[in-house]
Structure 1
Amino acid sequence: MASSFFMIGMIILTQTVVGILGNFSLLCSYIILHFMGYRLRSTDLILKHLIVANSLVLLSKGVPQTITVFGWKHFRSDFGCKLLYFLHRVGRGVSIGSICLLSVFQVITISPWNSRWAALKVTAPKYVVPSIFLCWILQMLVNVIFPFNITGKRSDKNITEERDFGYCSSIVTDKSEDALYAALLLFPDVLCLGLTLWAGSSMVLILYRHKQQVQHIRRTNASSRSSPESRATKFILLLGSTFVYFYILSSTCQVLLGLFEQPSRLLVDMSIMIAACFPTVSPFLLMSHNSSVHRLYLAWVRNAKSSTIMRKV
């Protein structure tokens, strides 16, 4: 049993380190492009906030849970536990909000000019920044009461019934209160998830119609793959479907944790591992498909070549 928990600890540690390095590297590339004078697109701004939210999830959950798995359990104060769980919930909520916003924005971008979204194609970029900040504010307001049911292991409060979550505990309350509170927390997530699924299906339909149209105009060279917008759309579909898959798995684990008054340590660790999957994988998906990272690489190559030429001269 000890060896299995050690392996789980190593997996969580690997996820946390790899995910933080990947998100930090990607965020640094955006910052460098900004100072180099490159004009970033509206989707790049959404992706930057997604990177920050994913980093928040990894730092607030992966790091303390890794330390707990390796035996250092009683290191967080009551305030520390409340703050970590609040940051985790906000990061998780902003992550799903960013994916939703990215998907909806891409649907508007690739929609035909004769569609009902034509009026929003020009004005949509203006609402990206307000939408992102509204997402942050909404998640902070919704999750502000979440820490009240979280207590540290070294808390002096006399609590008889609590769920053990490793480095922190959750106070067991009335079932009806739990259900009402869970509905309040799930409503923004379910709304964003529904919009993401709708946007994904709409993008698939638009791409299919576009492919059918170009087949009548050109032959082999007119594949929808040759269009930058089509490639970006397919990538957003991949990113969104990856998020939905891991979100459903993570939500299932959260439901199981809520059903048991004393969840097993294995279930707690598994929920942490699954919750960290998307924040760990997403930066590498972005690096492999994101044109901004490719622009940074090309700029670095040009600078290296120019410096080499100057030395030869």
Structure 2
Amino acid sequence: MEIQHFIKGIVFSLTAFIGLCGNTLILMSLSSIAYQEKKIMPAEIILVNLAVSHLVLLITLGLPHSLYEFGVKYFKTDLDCKFDAYFLRVSRIMSIGLTCLLSCFQCVTLISSHPTWGLLKAWLQKNIISILLGICMLSMVSSISSALYPVINTNLTDQRPAFNLGYFYVVYPNRFVYQLIGFIMFSRDLVFMTLMALASMYILLVLHRHSKQMKGMRSTDQTNTAERQAAKMVVTFVVLYVLFFGIDTSLWFYQTSISNEGPPAINDIRHFLTFCFPSAFPMILITFNQKVRCKLTCFALKHSDI
């Protein structure tokens, strides 16, 4: 095994392992909180779905990409590749869609004192399940093309545009289809990232105004404090999301518009960035969410006493 493959395997494996453990803990914590409180808040519903989509993304991308660097290639047929590529793409779109929804929901929550925004907040809370189902349907329908072209082996000498992921290939029938899919994916991701960036900028503006109003005063309002912490968490999510997935999407657009075949180095960077956010997500949530932090502390104390 070459040293570069060994180093990449270690980095990818650690990142994927941290993400898998972290998102599992988040899922367990939020489920336990909902069970104890006999209810679950809309923002927590979004966070639960984010944790699930991140787990699927890490299993379908982080895990096989990590194992491949150590010479483990467990996909045996084209059908295996197609299923993996499809669920990978569905979970990625779910991740960006849910992060966008979370940022917009938090933005509306902060400015819900205005009657119009209050009505919008109430509508979002009432229809949160329908919105989540809509994002899920969008993810599933728009990912169908991802299941059409993956194969376990291919002959790349015929000059057809293709991506070499190592453990399988994605071979497109012609350059038009290749560029069309790339443009659609780039445009969709750009819309989501623009929406979440605008919502986050407004959240920052609201927080800045509030800090100026509260300067020199001591606030004991725990609800407002929790909302501000949630707002800071969402802004952190969006900043990292736009950083990781923005670079990933830009590299994808470059590959589909200029390059005929995805160079292995660029593919490695893209896929590593794709599962960096799911791995960072639990740490950010634990840092800003007091309920989750307290629940994990209780878990740790309970197990230390056993």
Question: TM-score, length-normalised on structure 2?
Answer: 0.87
Q: 1:242 aligns with which of 235, 240, 243?
A: 240
Residue 40 of structure 1 deviates from its aligned partner by 2.4
Map of 1:77-226 to 2, 5 A cutoff? Answer: 77-114=77-114, 116-153=116-153, 161=160, 162-215=162-215, 219-222=216-219
User: For 2:302 and 2:12, how far apart are their aligned partners in 1?
Assistant: 39
Contact 2:193 2:242 in 1 (8 A): yes
Which has the greater radius of gyration?
1
Q: Answer yes or no: is 1:25 the counterpart of 2:60.
A: no
Which ranges in structure 2 are unaligned for 5 or more consecutive residues?
A: none
Residue 208 of structure 1 deviates from its aligned partner by 2.2
Map of 1:251-266 to 2, 5 A cutoff? Answer: 251-258=249-256, 259-266=258-265
Residue 96 of structure 1 deviates from its aligned partner by 0.6
User: For 2:168 and 2:213, how far apart are their aligned partners in 1?
Assistant: 57
Per-residue deviation, residues 80-113 of structure 1 (Å, max 9, x unmatched): 1111111111111000111110011111111052
Per-residue deviation, residues 157-177 of structure 1 (Å, max 9, x unmatched): x97734322111121443333
Instruction: Determine helix, strand or coil for the equivalent of 1:163.
Output: strand
Per-residue deviation, residues 13-33 of structure 1 (Å, max 9, x unmatched): 111111101111111112222
Moved more, 166-175 or 5-14: 166-175
Q: 2:228 aligns with which of 197, 208, 230?
A: 230
Map of 1:65-84 to 2, 5 A cutoff? Answer: 65-73=65-73, 75-84=75-84
Which ranges in structure 1 are unaligned for 5 or more consecutive residues?
A: 308-313
Name the amino acid aligned to 1:221: R
Q: Which residue of 1 is the match for residue 293 of structure 2?
A: 294
Residue 191 of structure 1 deviates from its aligned partner by 1.8
User: For 1:165 and 1:46, how far apart are their aligned partners in 2?
Assistant: 31
Name the amino acid aligned to 2:130: P
Question: TM-score, length-normalised on structure 1?
Answer: 0.86
Aligned length: 302
Per-residue deviation, residues 30-75 of structure 1 (Å, max 9, x unmatched): 2222333443211110001111111111100112122222223474
Q: What is the CA RMSD across the aligned residues, in angstroms?
A: 3.0
Residue 253 of structure 1 deviates from its aligned partner by 3.0
Change (3 A) 1:122 1:74: closer
User: For 1:81 and 1:244, how far apart are their aligned partners in 2?
Assistant: 28
Change (3 A) 1:249 1:30: same
Moved more, 224-233 or 80-89: 224-233
Segments of 4+ moved more than 6 angstroms? 223-226, 301-304
Give percent identity, aligned residues only: 22
Moved more, 74-83 or 132-141: 74-83
Change (3 A) 1:9 1:23: same
